[in-house]
Amino acid sequence: MSEHFDVHGGARLVGEVEVVGAKNSVLKLMAAALLAEGTTTITNCPQILDVPLMADVLRSVGCEVELDGDVTRITTPSQLSHRADSPAMGKLRASVCVLGPLVGRLRQAVVALPGGDAIGSRPLDMHQNGLRKLGATSSIEHGCVVAEADNLRGSQIWLDFPSVGATENILMASVLAEGTTVIDNAAREPEIIDVCTMLTEMGAKIEGAGTSTLTVEGVERLHPTEHRVIGDRIVGATWAFAAAMTRGDITVTGVDPHHLDLVLEKLRLAGADVTTYDGKGFRVVQDVRPQAVDFVTLPYPGFATDLQPFAVALSSVSEGTSMITENVYEARFRFIEEMVRLGADARTDGHHAVVRGVDKLSSAPVWASDIRAGAGLVLAGLCAEGVTEVWDVFHIDRGYPYFVENLNRLGARIERVTTDPERAITEEQS
């Protein structure tokens, strides 16, 4: 069976939507639970496909995982397996974040190379180099990352790029290492701060969260804790773009607007009226056609690469010409091929895309290549004449809880359609 969305164009989205826990945080917090024996409870978890996939990964190394609505309970035994090679690894990019905790706790790990979104190469060189600095050996063998250490000792580690995944893996390995570890050019994302907060609640000694330098004093052991996941800024930004694209009026709660300062400023430049509620949410009102704005993706606090599809989609219906520069993942511009199917006037040249806004897009069948591309195509479909079919929507389900339901409550008309491929072929032949 396969599923697609039928997206009816012409809707103006109005209303309020609540954002739950961040996908890019909860999966790493679940991995961090491996560092302490006992039961760790994580609340405000998003009900998305990636959470049960990560639960399967943790079960494969010996944990008991209970998923109860927005609460996840992870019971980590005293004796863990060092082999994380669950079939779920191939469906989940974030599964590689168990590497650091396993090396930190067990001094060894065999972790299957991860799968996930098709947005370009994301090599593990920095992850491995960081572990080697801590005293481990690391190599790729038979489709797995293999790491082992007699002991882990603190070290000065410089990252060539502020990689979120590398920062997290090195951080989680170093909290149980001997001595002091300093990670320079570390990622600064709010999700990194969230991981540091939970690790500190577990007994880790970390300074510099939210800056480019993390200093970790190793401790002998950690203890389980209860932690609430921060709101998902990428989902929050999705609703902000939805308001701007459909000339709507959306209030977003459950996310810190300061995590979206640059995004909201871009929407102001596009002509939106933006109101923020300190620490609680924001409102975006767009009464007229958006104005063209340029976007450049950069590590936080720059414009997130995850939001590039929405920048392209907004530019496609704006008045004027936008330049969009992608500096993080080279394959993100695959999204533009699908936007052209919808009538967008867009051209790419290396890391740059030029998008000339059109009055209205036109419906067509399109395919999601990753989570954010899928959501971006749905928003574009809302701005298109006719009914747009968005396929491979399992990507969207990996990152957005109740996406269709929330859109319909805001005034959209979207249906999830389940198709039996064999039946469709038979009917076509007849």
Residue ranges at the known binding site for UDP-N-acetyl-alpha-D-glucosamine: 93, 306, 328
Catalytic center residues = 117
Closest residue by Cα to residue 221 from 178, 182, 183:
178
Beta bridge pairs of residue 64:
75
* Binding-site entries for phosphoenolpyruvate: 23-24
Alpha helices in 175-280 (DSSP H): 190-201, 233-245, 261-269
Neighbouring CB atoms inside 10 A of 100's CB total 33
CB 412 within 8 A of CB 11: yes
For residues 396-409, one letter each, b for 16 or more C-beta atoms within 10 angstroms of the residue's C-beta and e for the rest, the string is bbbbbbbbbebbee
d(CA 100, CA 29): 12
d(CA 77, CA 86): 18
Q: Are strands 180-184 and 156-158 parallel, antiparallel or unpaired?
A: parallel
Q: Which amino acid is at 82?
A: H
Q: How many CA atoms lie within 13 A of 232 on its CB side?
A: 26
Beta bridge pairs of residue 295:
324
Place of tokens 């396929």: 391
Closest residue by Cα to residue 102 from 60, 70, 72, 56:
60
